[in-house]
Structure 1
Amino acid sequence: MSEYLKFYLIGQDGSRWNLTDETEGVLLRPGPSMLFDAPARTFWLDTSTGSHYQGMQFTRRDPVFSVQIHDPDGDPYMWADTDSRFRMALGMVGEDTFMLEAHTSYGIRRIRMRLLAEPKAYESAPYEGKDPWMTHDSTLAIMAACEKPFWEADPVELSWELEAGTAGSGTVPFENRGDIPVFWKATATAPAHWRLPDKSWGQKIYAKSTYPFNRAVDDADRMVWLPELLAGEDTDIDTDPDEPTLIAHNGAPVQARWASNGFYYPIKPFTKPVQVPVQVEDAYPGAAIQFWIPRHYSRPWGVMV
C-alpha cells in the first residue's frame, strides 16, 4: 500500500494493529468496500410530470474488508498467537466496538464499528480449507456496521470565560470545514444563566415553525437561553437531536426546567470560522463555557479540511 496512506485497527481491547505493514502479521487485503463515501438515500415525491426531490438521509455504513494473517518467520505457534489476538481485538459480534484509523496528508481520521456478523476465517484464499497450522497463513473476512457512518477527526476546541463582573458577552469562532453537518457540544459552569448560539447557517431544516420556509432567514442570528443553572449544576450540552441535550453534573433535572425548548441547527458543511456570540448573566467572574465542534467527513481523506 502507498506510503501516503496507513490504516490501523484499534481493538476493543485497546490493541493497535498496523494493517499496512506486514511486520505485525496482519495485512489489509485488496478490495475493501464501504470505507469511502458515506452511504445515503434520497426521498422523492411522485407527481403527474415526474418527481420532486424531498430530501436525503445518511444511512448505516456496513464496511466489508479482509486481512491476511501470517507469521513472516513461518512459525505456526506465532501465527496462531497473532490470529487469536487479532480476533480478540474485534470483540463479540454486535456487542463490542473497534475502530479503523486512517493516516494521510489530511491528518488522522477514525471510524467506529462493530461486527455485523461473525468473521469468516480460513475460507477466502485458494489454499484455505486445509489445516491453517500447516500454512501459518490465513485470511479473515470482516463484515461490520457503523452506527455513525462518518470518518471523524479530533474536534475543534473553543472556550470563553467571564473575566469580571456578573454578566458579559463575547464571541467564539464556530466552523465546519468538512462535508457533513455537525452538532456542537459544550460544558457550561454554574451558577449562571447562559445564552448560546443556534444559527440557521442558511438552512431551513430542523426548525419548528408554522412558517418553515422562512426559518433560514429568520433564524440567521438565533440565540437561545438555557434554563438558569444553580450552584453545583455545571452542565454538559449536546445539540445533537439524537442525544440528551442538557445533563447536569450533579444530576439535577435541568432539562425538565427548559419547557421543551432546544437547539435546532447543525453547523452546515464547508463553513469557515465565523464569530458567534456567547452571553452570560447572574454569574461570577471565572464562569466559563468549553465548546467541542466535531469534525466529520464522508471519506477517510479529502473533501475539504
Structure 2
Amino acid sequence: MGGDAAGAAPAREDLDAAVNIPEATRILIEGAGGQRLTVAGPGAGTDGVVLADVDSGTQFEDFFEAPTTTIWNATAYQIGADFGGAREEKFDFTLAFHILATPTLSWRGVYERFRLAFSFKRDCGLRAEVGDSSRLLTVRLGAKPAVKVTGDPNTDGYALVVVPLVGAYPRWCEPDVVSQFVTTTDTTAGGTESGWVTVSNPLPVDYEIWPRWIVQGGKGIVWTIPDFSWGSDEFERAEIDRDRKFVLPPLLEGEHVVIDTDPLTRFGQGNSSIDTGFPARMGGHRFCYPLPGGTAETKVPVSVTGAPVGAGVQVRCPRPWPRPWGGLD
C-alpha cells in the first residue's frame, strides 16, 4: 500500500483528547490499627508517606498480578506434554516509602504512625483506586522493615523505608456482588414458590469464582439452589449437570445457613448458625461447579417449600481480581 493509505501515527495530544480525562491511580495503606494513609495519587504525602519508585526498592511487578505457574504432565515417551493445571503462589514483594516530617507532625511521629500500620500477626491492606474501581490486597509483614538513612532522620525530616510484605491470598478484592430472593407466598401448608437471583463473574477467563449462598427462615424450610456445570467437563457431566440443582436439608428452628460452594474452603461447604453439623445433614452431597470467568449477568432459579412469607435466600459472588485494576472492559 502506498501514498496516504497507511497514514501516520496519531499525535499524542490527539490520543489524549480521544480518551478524555486520564484516570489517576490512588494507592492507600489501610493499617492494622485503623490507619488510612494515601501514599500515591491524589492526596499522596498528606500524612508524610509517599510510595517510592522501582529504583528505590518498590517491586511493582511482584504485586501487579497473581504469581502463577503451570503444571505439565508427560509419560516417558510422550511427545510434548499435557496441561495439568495452574498453581497460584502467595504475593511476596517489597514496597519502598519516602517518610517525611509534615508541618504538623515530626518525622518520628510520622514514622511511628506508618510503622504501626503494618503487623506480622494482624492483617493490613493495600487499596488501589482507579475511577470507580476500588480493590484491596490483604498483606502482613514478611520481615522487619529496613530504614535507609544517610544522617539523622529526626533532623533531616526524611528517611527511605523498605517494607517486605506477604499477601497470603494473592487477589485484589472488591466487595461481593449480592442478589437475593424473598418469599411472598406462604408455603408452610404445602406447595412451592420459585424465583430468580442473578450471578456473574467478570474476571478474566482463567479465574473462576465460587458463589456463597445464605439461606434463612425457620423450621422445616427446604431450599433448592442451582449448581450448574456451566459447561465444565471436569466430572464428565457437562451436559448431564447443565441444570443441576441442590436440595438443601430442612432447616431447624432458628437456623440460618451459609453455603460456601468452594470445595477447598477450610470450614466446610455448609455452616449453620446454631452449629448443628450441617455438612452431615447434607448426606455426603457436595457442590461441584464454580462460575467461570467471563460470565455475564445471568438469572438462575431458586425455589422453596415449607416457608412463610419473608423467608429469603441470598447469593454473593466474590470479586477476587488478579490485578489491582483492569478487566472490566
1:160 and 1:290 in contact (8 A); partners too? yes
User: Quick one: which of 86, 95, 98 aligns to 1:68?
Assistant: 98
Give 1:216 shift: 2.4
Amino acid at match of 2:281: R
Give runs of aligned pairs for residues 1-305 of structure 1, distance below 5 A. Answer: 4-20=24-40, 21-31=44-54, 32-33=59-60, 34-47=62-75, 48=77, 49-73=79-103, 78-91=106-119, 93=120, 95-122=121-148, 128-166=149-187, 167-179=192-204, 180-191=207-218, 192-205=221-234, 212=235, 214-241=236-263, 242-244=265-267, 245-304=269-328
Query: Is the CA contact 1:229–1:254 (under 8 Å) kept in the aligned structure 2?
Result: no
SS at match of 2:289: coil
Instruction: Provide Cα deviations, 1:56-76, integer angstroms capped at 9, x if missing partner.
Output: 122212232111100144x8x
Number of aligned residue pairs: 288
Classify the secondary structure of the residue corresponding to 2:86. Answer: strand
Q: Once the 2 structures are TM-superposed, how far is the Cα of residue 270 of structure 1 from its aligned partner?
A: 0.9
Q: Secondary structure at the match of 2:180?
A: strand
Structure 2 distance, partners of 1:243, 1:237, is 12
TM-score by length of 1: 0.89
Shift of 1:132: 2.1
Work out the CA distance in 1 between the residues paired with 2:80 and 2:262: 35
What CA deviation, in whole Å up to 9, does each residue of 1:105-160 have, x standing for no partner?
Answer: 251111111111111222xxxxx253322322112211111121111112111100
C-alpha deviations, 1:1-29, integer Å up to 9, x for none? x8610000100111100002122200001
Alignment match, 1:208:
none
TM-score (norm 2): 0.83
Counterpart CA distance in 1 for 2:93 and 2:296 is: 31
Question: For residues 183-213 of structure 1, what are the alpha-carbon distances to aligned partners after superposition, in whole Å with 9 as ceiling and x for unaligned?
Answer: 11122113311111111222234xxxxxx3x
- 2:216 maps to a residue whose letter is T
CA contact (8 A) 2:107 2:153 kept: no
> Is this contact kept in 1: 2:199–2:315, CA < 8 A?
no
Tell me which amino acid in the other structure corresponds to 1:263.
F
3-state SS of 1:35 partner: helix
Most deviating of 236-245 and 274-283: 236-245
3-state SS in 2 of match to 1:19: strand
Distance 2:69 2:241 in 1: 27
Gaps of 5+ in 1: 123-127, 206-211
AA of the residue aligned to 2:38: N
* Preserved CA contact (<8 Å) 1:12 1:90: yes
Cα deviations across residues 223-276 of structure 1 (Å, max 9, x unaligned)? 111111112111122112223222221222222211222211121111101111
- Once the two structures are aligned, what percentage of the paired residues are identical? 28
**d(CA) in 2 for partners of 1:275, 1:222:** 15
